[in-house]
Structure 1
Amino acid sequence: MDAERWTALEERVAALERVVTRRAGAETSPPPTSSEPDLDPEVFWALLGLGARAADPGAVMVVGSVATPSGQTARWQLGAGTDDLLADEWDGVAERLAALGHPVRLRLLRHVLHGRSTARELTEVEGIGTSGQVYHHLRQLTAAGWLRNRGSHYEVPVESVVPLLTTVLGGRR
């Protein structure tokens, strides 16, 4: 990304942070509705940018720029048109989503993102379970692509960091 585009992105993020701060602790902005033709560009800058590029009936994007506590950096985006998503079979994503459906697996992923990378370190987490249970969950996460095994170390693949965090964010809704 060139310096000019990076500066513009930093300015947009700063503007968004100012709006969030002004809202005195509000975690999310209100969802846009069809009765809101003039969306606030300081709040909905990403949505407005997507709308300017996507033809009707629209599109969906997952995008993020992340520096994890373990020092990993991920800048990633994926988009798809609404028609393509609605016409596609969703069965193919069930295994990947199901792997996130267990609270221990989510805790393991969070700990890996924080820098615990070996099975031994992960079994030392209080309340995580026995070593056999931890290995079972690590295998499930690895098979689904949320983790990668590098010898005795596990990592969240850089291409999975942003999808993982946006899935968790969506689950907060």
Structure 2
Amino acid sequence: MSIKNLFQQESESVTDQAVKIPFEFTNRDSIPKGKDPGNCIVIKPVTVRTWFRIRPFLLEVEKEDLDKMIVKDGELNADFPELMNKYGGLLFDIVCLGIHNKPSDPPEWFKNALADNTTWEDIRILFNAIIYRIGYHPFCTSITMLRNVSPLRETEIIAAQKNLQSWKDATKADS
């Protein structure tokens, strides 16, 4: 991974940019009337609350397996179907929580619609996008760090968010 790419990922994480993944919900049977999931899945930076909800699921995955699941630049893991067999439900829960990214549980209709419209390859892509939004790639270099603490402690994350907001407010005032 190039330095430029690493800095781009870090800046996207710090500036709260969302990742939009084009996605078509072709099987609409489980989508209630009046609900429209749109034509893409948006994964926003994970909140502290969501991080603490996802973290126990990540801790259930063995270090070697998690390392295999996380896609590195230009690498595709042939073991992924085996890993999906071992952790499929767990990964699906992580993906649902990461996409929903709110204090409440993801709506049942959303989970059903996602299950009806995704392949295991889709889950792999979404899982990696969520891991990316946690900040795993730019800020965590080992699973040990991920297992012991979040990329930052809760108070540091809140302070970083407040600093970001005050920086945004200051730049608006200067404009």
Give the alignment's TM-score, normalised by structure 1: 0.33
Structure with the higher helix share, 1 or 2: 2
Structure with the higher strand share, 1 or 2: 1
| Greater relative contact order (CA < 8 Å, ≥ 6 in sequence) | 2
Q: Which protein is bigger by CA-based radius of gyration?
A: 1
